[in-house]
Structure 1
Amino acid sequence: MKNLSSKLISHLTNVIKIHPNSCQLDVVSKIQEFISDFSKPRLLTLKKNTKNGLYIHGSVGVGKSVIIKALKRIYPQSEILHFNDLIFKLQSRSEKNLGYLKNIKRKKLILIDEFFINNLTSFILFREFVEEIKFNNTKIIMNGNKSLETVYNDLVNPKLCEKIKNELKAFFLIFKVKSRNDYRAGKAIDHDFFLIKKKNKIIKQNYIVSEFSSERSSKQIEFKRKGNYFKLTKVYGNLIDLEFDDFFEKNLVFQDYNLIAKKIKIFVLRNIKQIDENKKNILARFISFIDVLYENKNILSISSNVGLDELYIGNTNSSEFKRTISRLKEMGTNKYINTNLM
């Protein structure tokens, strides 16, 4: 694709309204180089070290996801999906998901957002997906926070885990974003929506419910997808009023949150509790929930007696939770709320 880097920079600057820093420009340059290589006729790319994928990793908030999503906008022969969603589709044997996977393998480029591994089964499934991609003329650009060496360790099957890592390193050209500056950090939080350690949190969130809901009385709404059916109460048309403990005790996953986010615009989440190592399921659900709301540009109001940076005091998935906090900080800004509330 001609002038890909200039088109990508133009989209970031004029549409997303961010001014790429030097590290983000390096990412754009690497993407341009990678796509230019596989866009050439095969006779010109018969190099021993030609890779089928590009893996971009680095600290949270450096712009990896923003750049990948912008790339999808300007590169029509691509398909983008969240890594969580990819694993779900690989695990599901439904005709719809098998058809989707078959179709994306016909694309020139697959974009995978937020690569992370928290179990060996997912690691094996992804390895098998990558193996199948090798037989097509399809390439992958993927982003994540961790290096392939540190993305996952399995104490029971360390040799298999190491084998998968080596296979992925052979598949992907690896590019590390050197910046550690979170572009979301330092933005002012709207304390009418993000009520952290506020005594008037109940009154404030009650006001949000009454002011922004499209219906005055609450209803119970049913949600259904293949493999799950559930109900949620306290739905006021475009707004839902949630209690943290009740909601995250429900056995919901990324796809369920996506169903909810596409049907409901505004989420009022009350009394977020501090999460520790003993509540890994709650942590995983909360991470997926925030990822979904961020991707769908939903509006969120939260209340908690704990500061954002102290919401999680464990080690498991701590890197992923840093992304969650970074996204929460952006979702709590006046700019995000005013832009997406319309």
Structure 2
Amino acid sequence: MAPSATVEPKSRPGPVRSALERLITSGEIEADPLQRRLADRLDALDRRLSAEIGASKKSALGWLFGQKREAERVKGLYVFGDVGRGKTMLMDMFFRQSSVAAKRRVHFHAFMGEVHERIGEHRRAHKKGEAKGDDPIPPVAEAIAAESRLLCFDEFTVTDIADAMILSRLFKALFARGLVLVATSNVAPDDLYPNGLNRPLFLPFVAVLKQHAEIFELAGEEDYRLAFLGEEDIYVETSDSGADGRIDAAWERLLDGARETTASLSVKGRTIPVPRAGNGAARFSFDDLMKRPLGAQDYLALARRFHTVVVEDVPVMAEAERNEAKRFITLVDALYDCGRRLVVSAEAPANEIYRARNGTEAFEFDRTVSRLFEMRSKDYLEKAASAEARDD
């Protein structure tokens, strides 16, 4: 799918394009014509948002901001392409410089977790007679739209039937209230939720998405994240006779003289034990984290609590271990999105851990492999260390 042609008036480069050009000039990335086009598209979107917000403030009827006719509403942007093409980098540049005050960048899994919590809260309040209306979607959409004018999602993907069934109604209501969505994904809108249960009920969301967001394919040949070479040995293959010693040595450096102890996390009333912890780091076996019924909210809680997570003895997985593979994918996503460090000992190289060729997990694991490579790069580790220092 080729990027849709939207003609913008020529002007000096906007903030996203300027930031991209600085990276090119410094030699940090190679020049990519499609990345430049996407940067210009993001700058154009921010100009439209800024102009609309400015006009609404000047107008005596500014409160009608969310009631514009369909043709007058600002459309968002849905960017898709293979892993490592620079989608997240450009969206983050856009988010940082956007003139919109009420904006939010959030992991899709975390956002949907919050949505389900809000729906549950409304239903409980309605049951007690404390809320009007038995349909929770309108008030939930109203609350979200009141908090954010611009919503940015990284790695938009739909695998959960509970999410799939509410997305169409939720986002139709959000868009009607003026929310603008910018999202990145590995797949085109028509390929979301492939082979999902009751997929025909999900398809109206695709139509709503296309109506309210322009679609841009960021194609290319090079995975920019895989171009980084890790400078620290934080991915250890267990075939190495010294693997255990190297993981232990890494753990000792993480502890930095602190006492090792046990810990626990409380997530929605459930307790997740942390068998080994110290100095802001946590250490688990693969079975501790992947063979228990844990989900995105659990792994996000883990990422928020610990700056570094050690996972030992990751085995080679096949289709029979698709549940474990899905949890591993979700763990890596959570740690990556929070900028945390991951130390791994595994039975095989990252690109050989999951060997199934069918199913959603096989497709999503390509992203996991790319992220595992980036998470051992010097640049990523330095950013993680800086974030850790700010947390302290």
TM-score, normalised via structure 2 length? 0.77
Amino acid at match of 1:36: R
Q: Which stretch of the first structure deviates more once superposed, 78-87 or 114-123? A: 114-123
Structure 2 unmatched ranges of 5 or more: 1-10, 57-67, 123-135, 387-392
Q: Which has the higher helix share?
A: 2
Indicate conservation of the 8 Å contact 1:248/1:286, yes or no. yes
Q: Which residue of 2 aligns with 1:118?
A: 159
Contact 1:90 1:125 in 2 (8 A): no
Match of 1:105 among 130, 134, 145: 145
Aligned match for 1:28, one of 39, 54, 57:
39
309, 324, 330: which one pairs with 2:368? 324
- 1:233-277 deviations in Å (ceiling 9; x for gaps): 111232222111222112222222222222212222211111222
Do the aligned partners of residues 101 and 240 (structure 1) sit closer, same or farther apart at CA in structure 2, a change above 3 Å counting? Answer: farther
Question: Compared with structure 1, are the counterparts of its residues 47 and 13 closer, same or farther at alpha carbon in structure 2 (3 Å cutoff)?
Answer: same
The answer to whether the 8 A contact 2:81-2:186 is kept is: yes
Distance in 1 (CA, whole Å) between partners of 2:190 and 2:334 is: 27
Bigger shift: residues 162-171 or 124-133: 162-171
Distance 1:48 1:146, change over 3 A: same
1:145 aligns with 2:181: no
Secondary structure of the 2:14 match is helix
Question: Letter of the aligned partner of 2:162 in structure 1?
Answer: T
Q: Are 1:73 and 2:96 matched, yes or no?
A: yes
Alignment pair present for 1:61 and 2:84: yes
Q: Which has the higher mean CA deviation after the structures are superposed, 190-199 or 122-131?
A: 190-199
1:236 maps to which residue?
278
Instruction: Say if 1:5 and 1:113 are closer, same or farther in 2 by CA, change over 3 A.
Output: farther
Larger Cα-atom Rg:
2
Q: 1:70, CA displacement in angstroms?
A: 2.2
Pick from 237, 240, 257: which aligns with 2:299? 257
Shift of 1:40: 3.9
2:332 to 290, 305, 330: 290
Q: Answer whether contact 2:17 2:43 (CA < 8 A) is retained.
A: no
Check the 8 A contact 1:190/1:333 in 2, yes or no. Answer: yes
Q: Is 2:177 the counterpart of 1:136?
A: yes
Question: Corresponding residue for 1:8?
Answer: 16
Match of 2:205 among 151, 164, 167: 164
In 2, the alpha carbon distance for the partners of 1:4 and 1:305 equals: 52
Counterparts of 1:239 and 1:260, CA distance in 2: 10
**3-state DSSP class of the match of 1:59?**
coil
Deviates more, 1:186-195 or 1:47-56: 47-56
- 1:306-331, CA deviations, whole angstroms, 9 ceiling, x for partnerless residues? 11111111222233211111111011
The answer for the alignment partner of 1:86 in structure 2 is 111
Seen in structure 2, the aligned counterparts of structure 1 residues 169 and 313 have a Cα distance that, compared at 3 Å, is same
Q: Which has the higher mean CA deviation after the structures are superposed, 26-35 or 212-221? A: 212-221
Gaps in structure 1 of 5+ consecutive residues: none
Secondary structure of the structure 2 residue equivalent to 1:141 = strand
Paired letter, 2:110: D
- Which of 268, 288, 310 is the matching residue for 2:352? 310
Larger deviation, residues 323-332 vs 169-178: 169-178
Partners of 1:341 and 1:320 lie apart in 2 by 27
Measure the CA separation in 2 of the matches of 1:319 and 1:333: 23
| Counterpart pick for 1:220 among 262, 280, 304 | 262
Counterpart of 2:130 in structure 1 is none
Rounded to whole Å, the distance in 2 between the matches of 1:194 and 1:258 is: 21
Q: CA RMSD in A?
A: 3.0
CA contact (8 A) 2:329 2:368 kept: yes
Instruction: Give the Cα–Cα distance (whole angstroms) in 2 for the partners of residues 215 and 4 of structure 1.
Output: 53
CA pair 332-313 structure 1, distance change in 2 beyond 3 A? same
In structure 2, what residue type is equivalent to 1:62? Answer: R
> TM-score by structure 1 length?
0.87
